[in-house]
Chains A and B, each alone.
Chain A
């Protein structure tokens, strides 16, 4: 390890540790005052930060980035505002258990290029709400906009009497510093939102981590669905910020019986089906042939940019490019995640075939993330939900806006979507403030009467039967 990098990491961690110690004295009112001040500052700068992120990264649509900043500030704030996060947060007399919330300690927050300012705002708010200092490491192509976000939030936090260094940036762009901070003995948690490599590095660091990587969201349009609505909803989701959200739809799957109708509706609403030659060209620019993963150049680009890069011409007004695919896997590179207005289209002979296609898509890089279904048949919704390896199955909802939460359902608004064991995560939930707490349980004596009235020496007798022991253990209660 370069001594200079180590010294820089030690300096950041020393300051963060001091901030954590000071923060531990704050009561709920003080914390809530700080969080409100930061929310107000971030919310007031939503347009400026969105424009900065768009100009710096060249990704997405600035107006949609404003909406992301609104979700990350206003909606996140409103969702955590009344949540107790300091001291005794619950007491149950019957069980005799009181819960005491304590901070974790310094949190290392990695923010992605796709949602830089919104993810930073979100992570800052949930960290401060839980009295955890935060160190932000942005993607190297979004450092300026994230640094400005942090500056605005820090200024507001300090004005509200937050501890110094409760928000820090790690922005020298070196991978070494990131790794050094991730594995630093003083780091309490890594909140990693980004690519597979980054998430793997977070999990390999030895520090507890909530890492959220890629998705590959299949969307099943069932014959029972309102087809026109389903298509318009997918369009709204897939075009939002040029498809940069990892919960956006990646493949539409339909049965043969409705394929023609869906295809016609899609064409009517601005989806353009690529021919073989066009598909090959788009594939060439969208997928890195060496890794088989999406090419960074394509992420968050408009249809016009994608077409320019691919050297193809499509009708004016095209909103999303569609590739007809027959298989799922490396032989069809566009069957993986592409965070751009490009979507795959599959037709299956029947319900079983479409269900199996969705399983294959789900397991091709999107395990644990998000799946989507349009249906008005509860049985089909239940079957699909049971099949998918997903933290969230969104129903009759644009998956981008649905998965992020709070706009179209009651999921917690979040820019870090837990993917469970499928995505090597500890949780399938939308990560929010309560994931950044140590909950201490104070347990008052409430004896287990069955245990105490039972002759436990009988457990030592191998001749006692399972049924006999259980019957007597539970009798007379």
Chain B
């Protein structure tokens, strides 16, 4: 089940995820994020808040990378990671592509 809330303030889209982000809910998350970005149009800045996420699958990593690429990696960030999720991003080298905190 997807646990996603989002807040759009002008060009800033904040997506707050919770629970287990795996192959069962990542496609839905992907579709929702894409739809919101389409609504905002050019110049969007995206923040993924992973404070409540306890597991990240390959599928969700693809959602994250896709969103980062869609908006320009400088305008994309992942925030509120639990420490082991932060290490996961570092191990994957994704902290070199966008901000992870």
Partners in one complex: yes
Contact B93 A186 (CB under 8 A): yes
- Bound CA–CA A22/B91 (angstroms): 9
Interface of B, secondary structure class, is helix
Q: Which of A13-31 contact B (CB under 8 A)?
A: 17-22, 24-25
Q: Given the complex of chains A and B, what is the CA–CA distance between A230 and B88 in angstroms?
A: 55
Q: Is the CB of A20 within 8 A of B92?
A: yes
Given contacts A24-B87, A25-B84, contact A18 B92 (CB under 8 A): yes
Residue of B57, B59, B89, B92 with most partner-chain A CB within 10 A: B92
In the complex, what distance in Å separates the CA atom of A21 from the CA atom of B59?
Answer: 12
Whether A163 and B58, one on each chain, are in contact in the complex, defined by CB atoms closer than 8 angstroms, is yes
Within 8 A of B (CB), among A91-116: 105
Give the residue of A19, A24, A105, A186 whose beta carbon is less than 8 angstroms from that of B58.
Answer: A19
Do residues A24 and B88 form an inter-chain contact, with CB atoms below 8 A? Answer: yes
Q: Assign chain B's interface to a size class.
A: 10 to 19
Is B58 a contact partner of A17 (Cβ separation < 8 A)?
no
List chain B residues, Cβ under 8 A from A105.
91
Interface residues on A, range: 10 to 19
Does B61 contact A18, Cβ atoms closer than 8 Å?
A: yes
The chain A residue sitting closest to B58, CB to CB, is A164
Quick check: is A222 within 8 A (CB to CB) of the other chain?
A: no
**A20 B58 Cβ-Cβ under 8 A:** no
A323-369 interface (Cβ within 8 A of B): none
Is A165 in the interface zone, CB < 8 Å from B?
yes
Kindly state the separation between the CA atoms of A24 and B56 in the bound complex, as whole angstroms: 10
- A163 vs B56: C-alpha distance in the bound complex, in angstroms? 10
| 7 pairs, A vs B, C-beta closer than 8 Å | A18-B61, A18-B92, A21-B56, A22-B88, A24-B84, A24-B91, A105-B91
Known: A20-B91, A20-B92, A21-B92; 8 extra A-B contacts, CB below 8 A, are A17-B92, A17-B93, A18-B58, A21-B61, A21-B88, A22-B57, A24-B84, A186-B93
